[in-house]
Chain A
Amino acid sequence: MNNLQKSAALAVALTLSASLVAPSFAAASAKRTASAGIVINFWSSGPTQGMTAVISQFNKMYQGKYNVVFRTFPYNNETEIVNSALAAHKGPDMLEESLTPSAPYAFEHLEMPIQPILQMGGINPNTEFPASMWHGTKVQGVHYVVPVAGLPTLFFWNKALFKKAGLNPNMPPHTQAQFVHDAQVLTNAKQGQWGYVQEPAWPNPFVYPSLLAQFGGKEANPATRKVLFDTQAGVNALTFEYNTIYKWKISPVNASANENYNLFMSGKNAMVMDGAYQYPPFLQRFGKNLGVSLLPVIGNKEANFLGQNYVWVFRNPSMTTAKERGIGLFLKFYYGHSMEIARAGILPTWEPTLKSAALKKLPAMYQESLALNSGVLNPLIPNWGTTSSTYLYQDIDLALLHKMTPVAALKDAAQKMQQEMATLLG
């Protein structure tokens, strides 16, 4: 290898890096000239439809005073991102997440009590938030979180498939018997046509808690940390799921995660129980042929698991009363514009909007607002429903794969999770 080649190779490498350095660093320095005012760092992994627009309106209105800087993350990686940042005191001021991940921070005294902040913004939580999303969210007697979006579990059906099977496309099933009957009519296993797809994995964390509550059960008691899903109600809920596959054969065996969605989208699955987040893609796909309603009553009463997004405020070194006021004003502004959020397909958690005539004109939003009345939350135990209830869903998985009976699966899960409860914060 001669010197010429060597210097040529080096020259290429250096030119390449130099040509890349220049624009990158120039752009980086341009970014640093942010607008003035108190910066409020707001991190989120939640749905961003509508939120981005509301934030830019707020920043325009409060220019020079407050500047909300919004950053989004992949949901699966939020814990390591947020926890690393907090460990280095570089965390956000506000975080949007589902409910139970707020608990560890509350137990570590890293969150600001939210009520004074709401007061500064002129928000009355007792009358202006839906009751099912405000009550049951205290940690050690203090409110730290505010609801910003509701995602109830809903029932979706394909009207075209109903018609084809000779069912009334505008009459969704209301009881367990009706549900099983309709599903059997809709199923043609040989042609890969299913009435319903029971997921062993996702989105069972929406479906199983819904059914459990319908049978009158609870997942756990957050005050005593006692696991409660291994009761008769829990067994009934899991047995129903099991029966859809093995007794009534209205659901395929061995469905992959999210397959209820994939098969529904391709017209091979007629009915779905899932979170409201499925509404926008379903509507885009089926338009007028999409039916949306409350869940059928599989158990003894109406109930649905309420997926949720909450916001909380971290006790950062940089937190000041002025910043707290800014957060209060921002929240008020956000709720004030919550009709825009609703139009973007996210259920707002603001009673004045929920009760408005404008919202009643959006069919899915109206169904969702009705579902709030019978909505149940996860118990407020650190990361319940996200990561700390892993054992429960692992064992449910095994039961739905016909490896364990529902009773044995729930018993095993309860025993492991009771042990795990002792290792969680709080």
Chain B
Amino acid sequence: MNPKTRITRWLAVILLSVGALFMLFPLVWMVSTAFKPQVDAFDGHLIPTHITLANFSAIFSSGSGASVLRWLVNSLFVGVTVAVLVMIIDSMAAFALARLKFFGRRVIFYIVVASLVVPFIALLIPLYLEFAGANMLDTYWVLILPYTANAFGVFLLYQFFLSIPKELEEAAVMDGVNKFQLWWRIAVPLSIPASATLGLLTFMNVYNDFFWPLVSTTSQDMRTMTVGVQLMAVGQYNTNYSLLMALTLCSVIPMLLAFLFAQKQLTQGIATTGINL
């Protein structure tokens, strides 16, 4: 490596470190505030003058009738279920749209893409009435089903499947496999990184969604983590920032683990999707 390159490399490290401080600054404050009593939330000290675990014990004591653990389980259950369903449903659809020929294929594809621009706010009431009519409000169904129609995922995997060399496919056809086997044995294994990326993005999306779970569930037991957090810390007139930061910290941990666990997969997965075709 020549000296010029080395200088460039370390210059990059310095720039990135400065940026990293900016990225971490709010998070560090979040952690610090989570350990402060409510009255100290605005004292301006990065290191808490009175360290307390009161916020955390308030979260995990079940006195308020709300169980944070229950919300966490709800969020994980809903997020994982949706992610698995979306990976399967979208993979099949994208495969067919990209690699098979049938009547109406183009039309379906364009409608799917076009649906991405309609703002959710316009769909809220119709969707709500639909689930109310089916008597599914305040159940797991209402938290899971609407997310299974993930047009973005079809779009993502469609681009990936286009990139599979057709020789692979032709070889398989020579072996006499049918379409389903072609998808399951050739397309699915090849697309695991891309599908996993879609799964992770879907999970993050569902886990962090606020509006729909807020409106469609009413009982404490059906709350998701994101909704529960707002409900517990944000009052009619006041926000308890210490408690809010502690709650946010707790709610972030599963996402953080998921990311650290999958971050290599995620980068590779995105590299293999059609995004950079």
Contacts and interface: CB of A to CB of B under 8 A. Distances in A.
Interface string A1-34: 1110110010001101100110111011001000
Contacts of B196: 9
A21 B144 CA distance: 12
Contacts of A81: 214-215, 218
B235 A84 contact: no
B189 A74 contact: no
Contacts of B124: 80, 84
Contact of B231 (A3, A74, A90): A74
A72 B214 CA distance: 11
B39 A24 contact: no
A19 to B, nearest CB: 9
Interface stretch (B15-23, B24-32, B71-79): B71-79
A277 B42 contact: no
Main secondary structure, interface of B, reads helix
A71 B77 contact: no
A21 B44 CA distance: 44
A52 B238 contact: no
A75 interface: yes
A4 B34 CA distance: 44
Contacts of A89: 132
B221 interface: yes
Given A1-B190, A73-B231, A88 B137 contact: yes
A284 B37 CA distance: 11
Contacts of B39: 265, 281, 284-285
Contact of B38 (A73, A90, A275, A281): A281
B150 interface: no
A46 interface: yes
Contact of B236 (A43, A45, A258, A265): A45
Interface residues of A, number: 51
A277 to B, nearest CB: 4
Contact of A24 (B133, B140, B192, B218): B140
Given A20-B80, A45-B236, A52-B65, A84 B125 contact: yes
A190 B139 CA distance: 57
A46 B238 CA distance: 12
B98 interface: no
A71 B228 CA distance: 12
A191 interface: no
Contact of B140 (A5, A28, A285): A28
13 contacts: A1-B190, A2-B189, A17-B84, A24-B73, A28-B221, A31-B219, A71-B220, A74-B230, A74-B231, A75-B236, A81-B214, A90-B132, A281-B38
Interface of B: 38-39, 41-44, 65, 70, 73-74, 76-77, 80-81, 83-84, 124-125, 128-129, 132-133, 137, 139-140, 188-190, 192, 196, 214-215, 218-222, 230-231, 234-239
